[in-house]
Amino acid sequence: MSKKTVLITGCSSGFGKLAAKKFQQEGWNVVATMRSPDKETELTQLDDVLVTRLDVTDKETVAEAVNQGIEKFGAIDVLVNNAGYGGHAYLEQFTEEQIYAMFETNVFGVMRVCRAVLPHMRQQKGGTIINVTSMAGYIGLSLGSTYSASKFAVEGLTEGMALEYKPFNIKVKAVAPGAFGTNFTAANDNNLENGDDELKPYAQKIAAHFAALAEQMQKQGGKDADPQEVADKIYECATTETPVHNVVGADAEILMGMINSMSRQDFINQMGVMLTPQEAN
């Protein structure tokens, strides 16, 4: 059987880089895309890996990378939409431009890459698309409303596309990680310093509360959780029958257990008690 090809976005670090290495080790051709391929030194050393530029906000680089991949390897069997970033702040603490920028990458970027690859997948009569979302695509959290909105959008996009493209033999799935120690935290567009005298101290209080909670919950996810788990889950979704919605990580499993064991409102109430314990006034 001929080698299969995967195109992955955001391969400069984190889940994207690990997924690129995983597919390569498993004998796949990999189109490992990133915003700054000139800086890449590791993936460029591997056989059957094409490292090329793709900025999900730039339609031309998307088309160029897809064409290069097809030209070199003859097909794109699997697309992994991994590129994305987060940010902590109250909705009012972001500027409008920052909110639009997050959606431009996390939501419109995913749609843009899908739309570039789908005609090709229809032509070859099949394929798989995997969108990396987040547990923030299942639950809303204080300081996370904007990021959650972007990831909820992609969970919805995924579910709709799974039904739309089933008749074309194209599988569409989401992989939602819990917290993992990648560059993600450093890349976050946090804005806790913005806002008026009422909002700013309160937002910072909640952020401190989160940090303490995260420290306590380290075993269930966070900087000690192994991001390889996510790369392996992506590979599993690419190669085996899995559901449309997939979660990965100990914290994600706990949250899903809670979500499935009570009403949505009871869950929101419990989250409120746990995560936003202090009144603003």
Ligand X SMILES: NC(=O)c1ccc[n+]([C@@H]2O[C@H](COP(=O)([O-])OP(=O)(O)OC[C@H]3O[C@@H](n4cnc5c(N)ncnc54)[C@H](OP(=O)(O)O)[C@@H]3O)[C@@H](O)[C@H]2O)c1
Question: Which residues are annotated as catalytic?
Answer: 147
Beta bridge partners of residue 8, listed in sequence order: 32, 80
Cα–Cα distance, 4 to 109 (Å, whole number): 24
Provide, rounded to whole angstroms, the least separation between the CB of residue 90 and ligand X: 19
10 binds ligand X (CB under 6 A): yes
What residues numbered 154-193 form the site for ligand X, per CB under 6 A? 177, 179-180, 182-184, 187
Q: Are strands 78-81 and 5-8 parallel, antiparallel or unpaired?
A: parallel
First to last CA, the chain: 65
All residues at 6 or more sequence positions from 76 whose CB lies less than 8 Å from its CB, including other chains? 5, 6, 7, 31, 66, 69, 70, 117, 120, 121, 127
Provide, rounded to whole angstroms, the least separation between the CB of residue 17 and ligand X: 7
Helix axis angle, 96-103 relative to 145-165, nearest 10°?
30
9 binds ligand X (CB under 6 A): yes
Q: Which of 6, 34, 49, 117 binds ligand X (CB under 6 A)?
A: 34
What 8-state DSSP symbol labels residue 44? G
Listed ranges 6-14, 138-146, 163-171, 207-215: which one lies at the site for ligand X (CB under 6 A):
6-14
Rg (C-alpha) for the chain, rounded Å, is: 19
Q: Tell me the backbone φ, ψ of residue 90, rounded to 5 degrees.
A: -65, 150
246 binds ligand X (CB under 6 A): no
84 binds ligand X (CB under 6 A): yes
55 binds ligand X (CB under 6 A): yes
Residue window 106-145: x/- pattern of binding to ligand X, with contact defined by CB under 6 A: ---x----------------------x-x-----------
Q: Which of 12, 52, 128, 191 binds ligand X (CB under 6 A)?
A: 12
What are the DSSP E strand ranges found in 99-221?
Answer: 127-132, 170-177
Q: Which of 2, 36, 216, 261 binds ligand X (CB under 6 A)?
A: 36
Number of residues that bind ligand X (CB under 6 A): 29
Q: Which of 93, 105, 191, 220 binds ligand X (CB under 6 A)?
A: 105
All residues at 6 or more sequence positions from 253 whose CB lies less than 8 Å from its CB, including other chains? 178, 247
Cα–Cα distance, 6 to 65 (Å, whole number): 12
Cα–Cα distance, 119 to 225 (Å, whole number): 37
Q: Which is nearer to ligand X, 56 or 130 (CB)?
A: 56
Helix axis angle, 14-25 relative to 228-239, nearest 10°?
50
Provide, rounded to whole angstroms, the least separation between the CB of residue 258 and ligand X: 17
Q: Which is nearer to ligand X, 23 or 184 (CB)?
A: 184
Query: Which residues contact ligand X by CB under 6 A?
Result: 9-10, 12-16, 34-36, 55-57, 82-86, 105, 109, 132, 134, 177, 179-180, 182-184, 187
